[in-house]
Amino acid sequence: MLETLGLTATAGTIYQAMLDRPGQGVEGLASATGLTPSRVRDCLDELASFLLVHPSSEHPGQMRAVSPEIGLADMLARQEAELASRQAALAASRAAVTRIVADRADRHSGHGERLLGMDAIQSRLEQMGHAAGGEILGVHPGPGMRPEDLAAGRPANAAAIARGVTIKSLYQDAVRNDTHTTAYAHWLLGLGSEVRTAPVIPQRLVVVDRAQALVPIDPADTRKGALHVTEPGILGALLDLFEQAWSTAVPLGASGPGDPTTGLTGIERELLRLLGTGLTDDAAGQRLGISSRTVSRLMSSIMERLDAASRFEAGIKAAQKGWL
């Protein structure tokens, strides 16, 4: 259970033993858990790094466990702060990449090629997939992909995987409700690829072998065209953006449980944050890949849990509870 907070299972066992048997020294903990004294000391060092144990005043030379109400709550708070920092960095990187790509498209140098229309984009994707030798990274925002686009991508992806190419695909959480996209994602998983989802992800993006990429000319309408990029500076920024988003995403096979403190799912927490910045239901829904109707349904659920009669009251109560 505590592994989700970054603690190893063995250290979690020692922490539980210390809570169940206060006052036990290293030898006592080793006897109770079946671990060696050396391993117990390593676990105590790990617990200390997470501030879950403190030196005992009653038993000099021993450690005492910090109560879960304090220690685990502090761990969650630190992780939430770290996640918020990474999300802020992701947002800043997303904006920077959008500016770089737009500037590059305007200048249209020899390092970037405009591809206008879906036929040109699909043709270049096929060429890139055929040339891939090691890795394909993909970001696919929105509530789901068109069945015809999914069907068109199958042959190239299957051939690349057969050659030993690693495929990592990042979708929005909303695709978990789209049967066509989830079926395609599970097909990729079955072939040994990796698929993750997150409430908010960067703009559409495909990077092959960290040497060439496709990004939309207009993120608001990706079917207009794309820019084929090979310049190392832009590729580096795109790869940083992907890695930041990938690190906060959840594997498709995982349930993505809600926050144990607030009960909020990732998409609910992000929705509260977006609406708190002043976005409308439609704008927040577009960022999350969900409809305004779903936004209303999620907010109704949040308001019920907060016992709030209005969104304004819900915002105040959410802030008081530390949900924002």
pLDDT value for 110: 46
Residue 313, SS3? helix
Nearest to 69 by CA among 257, 261, 231: 261
Domain assignments of the chain as residue spans, ordered by start: 2-66, 75-251, 266-320
For residues 44-70, average pLDDT: 80
pLDDT exceeds cutoff 80 at 93: no
pLDDT exceeds cutoff 50 at 62: yes
**pLDDT band of 95, cuts 50, 70, 90:** low
The DSSP bridge partners found for residue 207 are 137, 213
For 305, the token pair is 């849990």
d(CA 315, CA 294): 18
Cβ(229)–Cβ(213) under 8 Å? yes
Q: pLDDT tens digits for 65-91? A: 887 777 666 666 666 667 677 777 777
For residues 143-167, average pLDDT: 85
Its pTM surpasses 0.85: no
Question: pLDDT > 90: what percent of the chain?
Answer: 4
pLDDT value for 73: 67
CATH number, domain 75-251, options 3.40.50.2300, 3.40.50.150, 3.30.200.20, 3.30.870.10? 3.30.870.10
pLDDT value for 207: 93
Q: pLDDT tens digits for 102-151? A: 565 555 444 568 888 888 888 888 888 888 889 999 998 887 888 888 88
d(CA 319, CA 269): 12
Q: pLDDT tens digits for 170-196? A: 988 888 778 888 888 888 888 888 888
pLDDT value for 33: 86
pLDDT value for 174: 81
Cβ(59)–Cβ(23) under 8 Å? yes
DSSP secondary structure letters along 194-207 = EEEEESS--S-EEE
Residue 237, SS3? helix
On average, the pLDDT of the chain sits at 79
**pLDDT band of 213, cuts 50, 70, 90:** very high
Question: pLDDT > 70: what percent of the chain?
Answer: 81
Q: What is the CATH number of domain 2-66?
A: 1.10.10.10
**pLDDT band of 272, cuts 50, 70, 90:** confident
- On the CB side of 121, how many CA atoms lie within 13 Å of its CA? 20
Instruction: List all residues 6 or more positions away from 124 whose beta carbon is below 8 Å from its beta carbon.
Output: 115, 214, 226, 228
Same fold, 2-66 and 266-320: yes
The beta-carbon contacts of 303-310 under 8 Å, at least 24 apart in sequence, are 305/263
pLDDT exceeds cutoff 90 at 23: no
* 99 burial level (CB within 10 Å; 0-12, 13-18, 19+): exposed
d(CA 17, CA 190): 40
For residues 9-14, average pLDDT: 85
d(CA 46, CA 36): 15
pLDDT value for 127: 84
Q: Where are the alpha helices (DSSP H) in the chain?
A: 9-20, 26-33, 37-49, 68-107, 118-131, 147-162, 179-190, 232-248, 266-276, 281-288, 292-306, 311-320
pLDDT value for 109: 45
Q: What pairing do the DSSP bridges indicate for beta strands 63-65 and 53-55?
A: antiparallel
Query: Which CATH class, in words, describes the domain spanning 266-320?
Result: mainly alpha
Nearest to 244 by CA among 99, 93, 139, 80: 93
